[in-house]
Amino acid sequence: MAHAAHAADTQPDTPQSRADALLARMSLEEKVGQLHTIDASGPDPVGRLGGEIKAGRIGAVINQVDPDTLYELQRIAVEESRLGVPLLVSRDVIHGFNTIFPLPIGQACSWSPELVRDCARAAAGEAAASGVRWTFAPMVDIARDARWGRIAESLGEDPYLASVLGAAMVVGFQGDGLSRPGTLAACVKHFAGYGACEGGRDYDATNIPDNELRNTYLPPFRAALKAGAASVMTSFSDIDGVPATGNPYLLGEILRGEWSFDGVVVSDWDAIGQLITHGLSADMAAAARAAAEAGVDMDMMSSAFIDQLPRLVHEGVVTVDRIDAMARRVLLLKATLGLLDDPYGAAHRSAAPARQATLDLARRAARESMVLLKNDAGALPLDLAGIGRLAVIGPMADQPYEQLGTWVFDGDQTRSVTPLGALRGALGEHRVAFAPGLETTRSRDRSGFAAAQAAARSSDVVLVCLGEEAILSGEAHCRADITLPGAQLALLDALKAEGKPVIAVIMAGRPLTLAAVLERVDALIYAWHPGNMAGPALVDIVSGAANPSGRLPVSFPRSVGQIPIHYNRKNTGRPPQAERILYIDEIQVGAPQTSFGMSAFHLDDGYTPQFPFGFGLSYTRFIYADLVVSAGEIARGETLDVMVTVTNSGERFGTETVQLYLRDPTASLTRPVRELKGFQKVALNAGERRTVRFTLGEGDLAFSGRERRFRAEAGRFDVWVGGDSTADLHASFTLRD
């Protein structure tokens, strides 16, 4: 009988030597077994998988977190298989495990790498204590289409912000070393360009020019790998006609070649088998060969590798050396994780984070993810002590599960505190009038409107919680119409008719089109799906105990017809200009055909978003002045400072996210009109003033050019600093050769 320690009896010194020692003892079939990832959910996983594990034909399991089941599966691998190689246990730990934090796109609103890191670290601690050691996160796909369900899992539309936050998430999951208690191996996904799927439809084709691929979609992956991400997951989609899972350019030339990545590459669910469906491969053998030769190490769920690779090696189609390299990477990950010494995870169980600590973090994260989008006439904050009665209305006001959002397989909704529960706790139950109005966000049954109106009529202020249920976003949950579903807009009309101030809180997994909502409310908080502690965080914000500091990581379209919309667009030869816009209602009937405005805009929706990237209101005001660059000209290798004075001119403490944008106006490739190149969160007391300093170097000016070289081109650069991507404080400088 084998044992985990027996997997390396000689006790070599390093994970690499231990992996090599194991590999040297393996048969071809055992090597290929390490490349096979299988779903362990469903009935009787031990009976179904035990024989295959004992035979060394399974290297990793997914979707099983029951401790007793995992123990028995691992025991079979360690004590009954010939070499005793432990299983790698994997799970989608996306924004929490038992304690659920805001959606990744919500966390991105914090613009805080420290917060994102801390949430990932807490999630890793909970998951590792349950036996999980590998997570399929972070997702760093650039997302510019709000129809796409997986925008909820993204970090937004900007390569720089996604790079900073994605790297922070990797550090959070992996800690100071993968063998340390409470860590998970991160898997950065989906390599690459998945967020560019046509029509915002999951799994659809992508058409990405190499310029866009390298300058927009790849930088967050590069940053995550530089932060130490242990693995990469391939995209379902294709790039220039070649599906990512069988794409030698992506996986071989760029990932393995240019970037020298030697960690594990895993396919997405059945993505190798889907090479046949794509039309790249004629059969499963051809699909297995294409994926292996492109650079995939592990096959998730298609069984292509386990069924086909041994025969392909025997036939001389795939080399043993290639199988060895693939298996060695998997074994090295297991050794680095400490699985050879602690396959049952005793060290991780004892390192589980304290429940209250994770809930406190979840409250802070939810608070910092909420974005104040409208606040007319100081409708917020509310003086809770002075309110006689508050009406709490809406289908999302008391939904402990729905507020968690997508990707919460292991989320504990008993830990949830809803907005209704928290407001009752703050005000007392007798001062809160509750009526949902609608049973669900999708309901069109208006029979609950009368009770909702009565609650509003008897109250001083109406707080209405609207949005989408969790199931309406996430993988394979894309929407063509991104307005509020069901009869929610009609509910708003009914409430507004009562003549009371209306505060709207929207919980959703994507940006929604909000023009009609904004017309009907006095204030609007975009809360995304905030996780377990949605209620207490919301009370913090609406009461003024916390000043809203969330800033949008993605542009909000005015209508679905504007999509894709993002701030870092190209200028075009005929850029839009406000003074040249002629809207559809302004066109004279019978007017002769002419090219109105001669620029890139929509007749019925202009060219600006409803809310720009980086936008977010506060209960105080921040004034920017005195933008200065330390040098008008720099040489290669030199740096310059950009300084701006920020003043809190209001009457409350607040936190401002100071954002720096750059433009290279003349280059060998057309460049975006603006690119985020730095940001700092600055906390200021009322009346306080501070000089904020950014340092720019040649690397900040660089991009991948026509010859695929990452370098800065000499010439003039424009710089703006302000509170969002429409910042108007401007300066310029020159880079000389």
Share of the chain above pLDDT 90, in %: 94
Q: What is the pLDDT of residue 666?
A: 97
Rounded distance between C-alpha atoms, residue 147 and residue 658, angstroms: 29
Q: What is the pLDDT of residue 8?
A: 44
Residues 578 and 454 in one domain: no
Residue-wise burial string across 550-579, b where 16 or more C-beta atoms lie within 10 A, e elsewhere: bbbbbbbbbebebbbbbbbbeeeeeebeee
Q: What is the pLDDT of residue 579?
A: 77
Rounded distance between C-alpha atoms, residue 148 and residue 560, angstroms: 12
Tokens of 190: 């989906």
Residue 667 inside a domain? The answer is yes
Rounded distance between C-alpha atoms, residue 720 and residue 655, angstroms: 20
Q: What is the pLDDT of residue 585?
A: 86
Residue 131 inside a domain? The answer is no
CATH code for position 501: 3.40.50.1700
Q: Average pLDDT of the chain?
A: 96
Residues 425 and 494 in one domain: yes
Summarised one tens digit per residue, pLDDT across range 260-281 is 999 999 999 999 999 999 999 9
Residues 629 and 537 in one domain: no
268 is catalytic: yes
pLDDT band, residue 33 (cuts 50/70/90): very high
Residue 370 inside a domain? The answer is yes
The closest of 24, 307, 654 to 299, measured between CA atoms, is 307
Average pLDDT in the 597-606 region? 85
pLDDT band, residue 533 (cuts 50/70/90): very high
Summarised one tens digit per residue, pLDDT across range 234-269 is 999 999 999 999 999 999 999 999 999 999 999 999
Residues 627 and 725 in one domain: yes
Residue 198 inside a domain? The answer is no
Residues 684 and 727 in one domain: yes
* SS3 category, 164: helix
Write down the H helix ranges in 345-431.
346-349, 355-369, 419-427
Which backbone phi and psi does 694 adopt, to 5 degrees?
A: -115, 145
Q: What is the pLDDT of residue 6?
A: 45
Rounded distance between C-alpha atoms, residue 136 and residue 75, angstroms: 24
Are the CB atoms for 505 and 521 separated by under 8 Å? no
pLDDT band, residue 597 (cuts 50/70/90): low
Tokens of 662: 């750059």
Q: What is the pLDDT of residue 583?
A: 85
Please check the confidence at residue 606 and state whether its pLDDT lies above 50: yes
Q: Which of 141, 268, 410, 522 is catalytic?
A: 268
Q: What is the pLDDT of residue 530?
A: 98
Residues 394 and 428 in one domain: yes
Rounded distance between C-alpha atoms, residue 426 and residue 387, angstroms: 12
Among candidate residues 581, 608, 635, the one where a domain is terminated: 608
Rounded distance between C-alpha atoms, residue 527 and residue 531, angstroms: 10
Strands lying side by side in the sheet with 715-722: 633-635, 729-736, 715-722, 654-663, 675-684
> Cα 669 vs. chain centroid, distance in angstroms?
29
Please check the confidence at residue 2 and state whether its pLDDT lies above 90: no
Residues 534 and 631 in one domain: no
Residue 134 inside a domain? The answer is no
Summarised one tens digit per residue, pLDDT across range 40-63 is 999 999 999 999 999 999 999 999
Rounded distance between C-alpha atoms, residue 92 and residue 71, angstroms: 19
**CA distance from start to end of the chain:** 68
Q: What is the pLDDT of residue 603?
A: 86
pLDDT band, residue 12 (cuts 50/70/90): low
Summarised one tens digit per residue, pLDDT across range 284-304 is 999 999 999 999 999 999 999
CATH code for position 658: 2.60.40.10
Rounded distance between C-alpha atoms, residue 541 and residue 627, angstroms: 31
Burial of 681 by CB count in 10 Å (0-12 exposed, 13-18 middle, 19+ buried)? middle
Are the CB atoms for 392 and 420 separated by under 8 Å? yes
Q: What is the pLDDT of residue 84?
A: 98
Average pLDDT in the 156-171 region? 98
Summarised one tens digit per residue, pLDDT across range 510-527 is 999 999 999 999 999 999
Residues 604 and 630 in one domain: no
Are the CB atoms for 234 and 227 separated by under 8 Å? no
Please check the confidence at residue 9 and state whether its pLDDT lies above 70: no
Residues 452 and 521 in one domain: yes
Beta-strand pair 36-39/299-300? parallel
Among candidate residues 557, 576, 608, the one where a domain is terminated: 608
Residue 108 inside a domain? The answer is no
Residue 182 inside a domain? The answer is no
Summarised one tens digit per residue, pLDDT across range 312-334 is 999 999 999 999 999 999 999 99
Q: What is the pLDDT of residue 580?
A: 77
Structural domain of residue 725, as residue ranges?
A: 622-736
Share of the chain above pLDDT 70, in %: 98
**Helix (H) or strand (E) run with residue 166 in it:** helix 159-174
Among candidate residues 580, 608, 636, the one where a domain is terminated: 608
Residues 647 and 588 in one domain: no
Q: What is the pLDDT of residue 1?
A: 39
Q: What is residue 234's DSSP assignment?
A: E
Q: Return the bridge partners of 154, or none.
A: none
Rounded distance between C-alpha atoms, residue 302 and residue 329, angstroms: 20
The closest of 375, 371, 382, 379 to 723, measured between CA atoms, is 371
Q: What is residue 139's DSSP assignment?
A: B
Residues 628 and 577 in one domain: no
Residue 453 inside a domain? The answer is yes
Q: What is the pLDDT of residue 10?
A: 47
HSE-CB of 444 using CA atoms within 13 angstroms: 2
Q: What is residue 86's DSSP assignment?
A: P
Residues 511 and 638 in one domain: no
Average pLDDT in the 102-128 region? 98
Rounded distance between C-alpha atoms, residue 141 and residue 192, angstroms: 7
Domains in the chain, number: 3
Q: Give me the residue label for tokens 């659920």.
A: 100
